[in-house]
Structure 1
Amino acid sequence: MKLLHHGAASGVTGSCHQLWLDSHHSILVDCGLFQGEDLARRQPPNLEIEFSLAGVEALIVTHCHIDHIGRIPYLLAAGFTGPIFCSKASAQLMPLILEDAVKLGFTRDRRLVDRFLALIQQRLKPLPYHRWHAIPENAPGMVRLRPAGHILGSAVVEIAMDRHRRVAFSGDLGCYDTPLLPDPDPPKRADLLVLEATYGNRNHEHRDKRNRRLRAILESTLADGGTTLIPAFSIGRTQELLYELEELLFQMLGEGALSKVPIVVDSPLAARITRSYRRLQTLWDSEAKERLRRGRHPLDFEQLITIEDHYQHQALVNRLQHSGEPAIVLAASGMCSGGRIVNYLKALAGDPRTDILFVGYQAPGTAGHKLQQLSRPGRVMIDNEPIQVNAQIHSLSGFSAHADQPDLVRFVSGMTLPPTTIRLVHGTPMAQKGLATRLKRAIPGVKVELAALIRHGSRQNAPA
């Protein structure tokens, strides 16, 4: 088997893996955007497709986060003409994400954007979970998707290269007992498992503990009369936070100000995706469906305010800056590298009554990572401006959409037959090393490879 990594070999962005089905045909699993230091390390730092597409028959998408699909426009521009396989939910969400990406990175010309989206729709081949599907006729192999528990529509990808050989790609795995989503579903067997390692050397907080901490942070903010800013990814994290906030407010109904504080989602994309999540209720887990049966609406409750218009956004930023009214604001981007969260940070980060709450991974080199590292008041470059930060900085690892080390080991241990080889990707070298050590103890005899240590020239490629 020949497997090349065109991204996410030693970092957590730019996921793109090329698997050869035979000597002439290959597939890509994901084609994501580089961000932060992962982008800066590219020489020159660009997003072009720098590998040959000869023999690439199909793209298989694990899920719709931008670090897994953000280079698809570049892939099409480079001449890729094959199908794009993904889950049915991802097929609904992907055009929304890519439309936003094209507007930000390429053009706002509506005619050109619509032409691009029409092309994407033509290429998309939605697949149900748990059913084998043939890869294009001129290539061998079959593909099957399984729930990954990361975001709605996320998938573990199984490739049957022939009757005997199988390769599985975890994509990004979610935590077990994640709100809204069923648990990750490992394949029965795989000769080679390509496994993410984002938090391969970390243990997350338990869900109950993180929710208690969330409540304490919000109550503190309200007591100070300030604003809680939560940089959140538009897809996945925003919906999970809304789900948990609805439960928190339900528990505290009538107990004080927290039950009345406005919860603001200030992101047009997040608003559209949340509406899609509501339409896809059949994919929710049993806990979420039970709330619906009891007449509660986890993603659409009384205190929820959605801001889509830019003028409404700017008016709210100004109001919070000058009024001192308490609010909980969820805004993109999740790593503070762009989007509406930037305006909130510029206006409110200097106020000591402000709380900035990180609930997901912050890639090194991003503004979010620099903020997260502050242990005392100081200056941080945000949108190329030095911003004085006097706000309180918090991190809740338990809200991560990525499995931690115990959950990653649990996923592999859940396979009926352990894999012969595990290739670790989508993690720093330290995270990969930590997970490799734990996997070798848990699964005696397994061969664990670190993609971070496999380099050929300027690319992160190697035969499996």
Structure 2
Amino acid sequence: MIHHGAFAGVTGSCHELFLRPDDSVLIDCGMFQGAEAEADGATGREIEFDLSHVRALIVTHAHIDHVGRIPYLLMAGFHGPIYCTEATALLLPIVIEDALKLGLTRDPELIAGVLGALRRMLRPVAYDAWVTGDGLAGSAGSAGSAGDVRMRFRQAGHILGSAYVEFAWPDEYRVVFSGDIGCRNTPLLPDPEPLEYADMLFLESTYGDRLHESRVDRAERLRKVVERCVSDGGAVLIPAFSIGRTQELLYEIEQLITSNDGIWPKITVILDSPMASEFTALYAELTHLWDADALARLSSGHNPLNFDRLHVVRTHVEHEHIVNFLRTSGEPCIVIAASGMCTGGRMQNYLRALLPDPRTDVVFVGYQADGTPGRAIQQYGPTGGYVEFGDERIHINAQIHTLGGYSAHADQAELIDFVRSASRIGEIRLIHGELTARTALAQQLQAHGYRCPTP
């Protein structure tokens, strides 16, 4: 096993598993972000490892810190199959196109070439279907020869199409990579599928040192933030990842507005992210992957992803107009925009304009990596500090909130429950977490009797 990212950190997920002495597969190929991208002068994109043994890429889900280096992997000479779930196969080209435009090129011919190659390499696989073949270069189906290693995806409940991945050898030895494990009772998504067993489990530990607030508590705190927005005429800014968090927020905001209809004045929900809009449309199409509660709400006449108060910003001109309008108007609204860690995207323009305004509320609903503007706002905003966007220093007078219950990652208790769902666990190796999180989770797993080395 060789780790090429997210071993001693949170971003840049990329792990090389050797199935045989000369055959390996990559599990994810994500981009580094924040301080991890700047380590040793790296840009967070380079492929600086040998690909001669790599036969296939396995993608657990379509977040940028798990797939952002795929264009650079192709340019480095990788031409093998890319296995992912069926939903991820629909989401991935959109993510990669955006990554290319932001970090590499806007040349339409080059982008079309990369996306064409990507689509030819994609091998969509249904949940729970075993894949087998020489170096996993075959197709989904029954087990092959006695020497084959099999692989399958199982529901991880993190975002649409997310999966943890199992590798099984003929002697039933099994290695499992968790990808990102989602929370239970997440809107729209099924809960993570229980783990059967693992002789070696590589487990994410993003929130291994904390417990999330309940879904009821988080909704109540969000309601209070929105009430403040309504009363003082400020804006609520929610930096959110385009896939998963945005759709979950829309689901709960629609419920919140419906339950307060007639009490609050009309409040507009602004979705200002072209990519998030595309993903939201895909979520709306793939209702067969929604959970029972979401389907029941849809059948009762409520559309949590397309409701009357929702306004989708289509153009950059409209985006600039709204930013300037909110800077001066005092019109109550909720703005959801990327990026989730405030490292780029349209959210930065809202923050530049509105962080100095004490009527503004900024709500963080996801992990903020060290070295990102989101972490700086989260850390220094409550004491009236500042954040830097490039060479520009923005002083923070806005109210800053962190709603941990909206995380798409399982907390410490849910990670332990995921482990305990298995009939047996041989050894656990913690990845995808800061040192404090990995240490705390390791200690808890050891206390439950599991073999889990302390980082």
Quickly name the TM-score band, shorter chain normalised: over 0.9
Equivalent residue number for residue 380 of structure 1: 387
For residues 248 and 29 of structure 2, the distance between their equivalents in structure 1, rounded to whole angstroms, comes to: 25
- C-alpha separation in 2, matches of 1:310 and 1:173: 35
Distance in 1 (alpha carbons) for counterparts of 2:258 and 2:44: 47
What residue number does 1:256 align with? 264
For residues 200 and 418 of structure 1, what CA distance do their matches in structure 2 show? 21
CA shift, 1:162, in A, is: 2.8
2:141 aligned partner: none
Q: Which moved more, 1:89-98 or 1:181-190?
A: 181-190
Matching residue within 413, 426, 434 for 2:432: 426
Q: Map 1:67-106; keep pairs closer than 5 Å.
A: 67-106=65-104
The Cα of 1:418 is off from its aligned counterpart by: 2.2
Please state if 1:398 is matched with 2:405: yes
Number of residues of Structure 1 aligned to a counterpart in Structure 2: 444
Question: Is the counterpart of residue 411 in structure 1 residue 433 in structure 2?
Answer: no
Instruction: Name the SS for the 1:26 alignment partner.
Output: strand
**Partner residue of 2:213?**
205
The aligned counterpart of 1:304 is 310
1:160 Cα offset (Å):
1.0
1:45 shift after superposition: 4.2
Whole-angstrom CA distance in 1 between matches of 2:169 and 2:23: 11
Go from structure 1 to structure 2 and tell me whether the alpha carbon gap of 1:359 and 1:250 turns closer, same or farther (over 3 Å shift): same
- Which residue identity is paired with 1:278? A
Output aligned runs, 1:36-435, within 5 Å. 36-134=34-132, 135-136=136-137, 140-257=148-265, 260-374=266-380, 375-415=382-422, 417-435=423-441
Deviation at 1:140, TM superposition (A): 3.6
**1:93 Cα deviation from its structure 2 partner:** 0.3
1:187-210 CA-to-partner distances (Å, cap 9, x unmatched) read: 311110110000001000000000
Contact 2:45 2:68 survives alignment (8 Å): no
| Residues 300-351 of structure 1: per-residue CA shift (max 9 Å, x gap) | 0000000020000000000000111111000100000100001001111110
User: Does the 8 Å CA contact 2:33/2:44 hold for their aligned counterparts?
Assistant: no
CA positional deviation for 1:46: 4.7
Higher deviation after alignment, 342-351 or 128-137: 128-137
Aligned equivalent of 2:142: none
What is the aligned counterpart of 1:449 among 442, 449, 453? 453
* Paired position in structure 2 for 1:460: none
Normalized against structure 2, the TM-score is what? 0.96
Q: Per the alignment, in what secondary structure is the counterpart of residue 179 of structure 1?
A: coil
For the 8 Å contact 1:332–1:339, the answer to whether it is kept is yes
8 Å CA contact 1:356, 1:391 repeated in 2: yes
1:70 is displaced (CA, Å) by: 0.2
Q: Distance in 2 between matches of 1:419 and 1:384?
A: 50
Q: Which amino acid aligns with 1:311?
A: V
Report the residue type matching 2:289 in the other structure: L
Deviations 1:87-132 (A, max 9, x none): 0000000001111110111111112111111111000000000111
> Given residue 41 of structure 1, which amino acid in structure 2 is its aligned partner?
A
Are the equivalent residues in 2 in contact too, given 1:156–1:186 (CA < 8 A)? no
Q: Secondary structure at the match of 2:198?
A: coil
Structure 2 residue matching 1:191: 3-state secondary structure? strand
Q: Secondary structure at the match of 2:238?
A: strand
Alignment-derived partner of residue 456 in structure 1: none
Mapped to 1, the partners of 2:309 and 2:154 lie a distance apart of 35
**Contact 2:195–2:418, Cα closer than 8 Å, also in 1:** no
Task: Give 1:378 shift.
Answer: 2.1
Aligned partner of 1:19 in structure 2 is 17
RMSD: 1.2
Name the SS for the 1:372 alignment partner. helix
Aligned with 1:230: secondary structure?
strand
Q: Quote how far apart the aligned CAs of 1:420 are.
A: 0.4
Unmatched runs of 5 consecutive residues or more in structure 1: 454-464
State the SS of the aligned residue for 1:6. Answer: strand
Return 199-208 or 160-169, whichever deviates more. 160-169
Q: Is the 8 A contact 1:380 1:387 kept in 2?
A: yes
CA contact (8 A) 2:3 2:14 kept: yes
Deviations 1:222-263 (A, max 9, x none): 111000000010111000000000111111121222xx2000
| CA spacing shift, 1:212–1:424, aligned 2, 3 Å | same
Counterpart code for 2:427: T
Contact 1:337–1:383 (CA under 8 A) maintained in structure 2: no
Percent identity over paired residues: 51
After TM superposition, give the deviation of residue 164 of structure 1 in Å.
2.2
Measured in 1, the distance between the counterparts of 2:15 and 2:295 equals: 35
